Amino acid sequence: MAKTLPPRTLLQDEIDVFSRQAPEGLVIAEVRGRTIIKLDWQGQDKTEKLDKAMGGLLPTVGQSTADSGKGALRYAPFSVLLVSAELTARDLVAERQKSLSDLGVTWVDLSHGYVVLRLSGERAREVLDSMASTDLSAGRFNPGAVARTSIRKHQVLVHSLNSSCLEVYLERSYALSFWHLLEHKIALG
């Protein structure tokens, strides 16, 4: 019988220390236990079929959709991340298993490969925008937008939830290193 261990958080200690003296207008939290599945396919024709299979919820490139606690983040032409706070990877895929197989769409469970940081508050966007080479400013990176970008050699995926809340998907092994950069940036205003 498989143990039901929740994946442990990685940056909670750092976030706890930060939160005690956090600047105004910025709240940082680590999103726990999120299921993240990467779907890949090849060809525009399959894109359209996949969209149908997903009930029209396949977002356009650089955008995301959300429905009943599940989200889809389309960060590349033929790749999308399916995310969910409640479903396991198998459950998330099981819903569409047949249509995915028929279309030749492959999936990989990356739930444990990412640490997801949520930055919220009026300063959240400004802080992240000043660190990223991609334009994350309010007028250009609207709610729902998704982008893969580089932040000082850290490859990250940024998702704009709303005007004052963004999520950053970090490769797990780089999480603490990225945290140090973030702290440095916030400290310097």
Partner 1 sequence: MSASPQSHRLPSGGLIDRTQSLSFTFDGETYEGYEGDTLASALLANGVDLVGRSFKYHRPRGLLSAGSEEPNGLVRLGEGNRARPNLRATEIPLFDGLVARSQNAWPKLSFDLGALAGLAARYLKAGFYYKTFLWPAGAWPFYEKLIRRAAGLGQPPCGPDPAQHEHHHQTCELLVIGAGRAGLVAALEAAEQGRRLILCDERAELGGSLAWTRDPVDGLEPIAWWDQAVEKLEQNPKVTLLANTTAFSCQNLPLVLLEERRPGGNHRLWIVRADAVVLAGGAIERPLVFPGNDRPGIMLASAVRFYIRHYGVKPGQRAVIVTNNDSAYEALEDLKSADIQVAGLIDMRPAEAAPFRPDGVPVFANYEIAGTRGRKRLKGLTLRYGVDGSRVDLDCDLLLMSGGWTPNLQLYAQAGGRLMMEPQIGAHLPHDATTPLAVVGAAAGKGVSPTAAMPLAKGPMAFMDFQNDVTTDDLDLAMAEGYGDIEHLKRYTTTGMGTDQGKTSNINALSFVAARQGRSAEAVGHTTFRPPFTPVSLGAVAGPARGRDLAPTRRTPFHKANEKAGAVFVTAGDWLYPRHYPHNGEDMAAAIAREVRNTRRQVGVVDMSSLGKIDVQGPDAPTFLERVYCNNLANLAIGRVRYGLMLRADGILFDDGTVARLGETHFLLTTTTARAGEVWQHLERLHQCHWPDLDIRLTSVTDAWAALAIAGPRARDLLTALGPDFPVDKESFPMASVREGLLDGLPIRLYRVSFSGELGYEIHTPAGYAEDLWEAVDVAGAPLGLMPYGLEALDVMRLEKGHISVGTEIDGRTTPADLGLGKLVSRKKDFLGRSLFQRPYLQGKGRLQLVGLQPVDGQTVLPIGAMITAHTWQGTTQVSLGYLTASLYSPSLEHPIALALLKDGHDRLGDEVWAVSPLANQSVRAAVVSPHFFDPGGERLNG
Q: Which run of H or of E encompasses 90?
A: helix 89-94
Binding map of partner 1 across residues 153-172, x = CB under 8 A, - = no contact:
xx----------------xx
Verify binding: residue 15, partner 1, rule CB under 8 A: no
Verify binding: residue 90, partner 1, rule CB under 8 A: no
DSSP string spanning 12-34? HHHHHHHHHTPPTT-EEEEEPS-
Name residue 64's beta-bridge partners: 73
Residue closer to partner 1, measured from CB, 66 or 181: 181
Biggest CA–CA distance in the chain, Å, is 52
Name residue 50's beta-bridge partners: none
Verify binding: residue 98, partner 1, rule CB under 8 A: no
Verify binding: residue 52, partner 1, rule CB under 8 A: no
Q: Find the part of the chain contacting partner 1 (CB under 8 A) among 19-27, 57-65, 156-164, 181-189.
A: 181-189
Verify binding: residue 177, partner 1, rule CB under 8 A: yes
Cβ(38)–Cβ(110) below 8 Å: yes
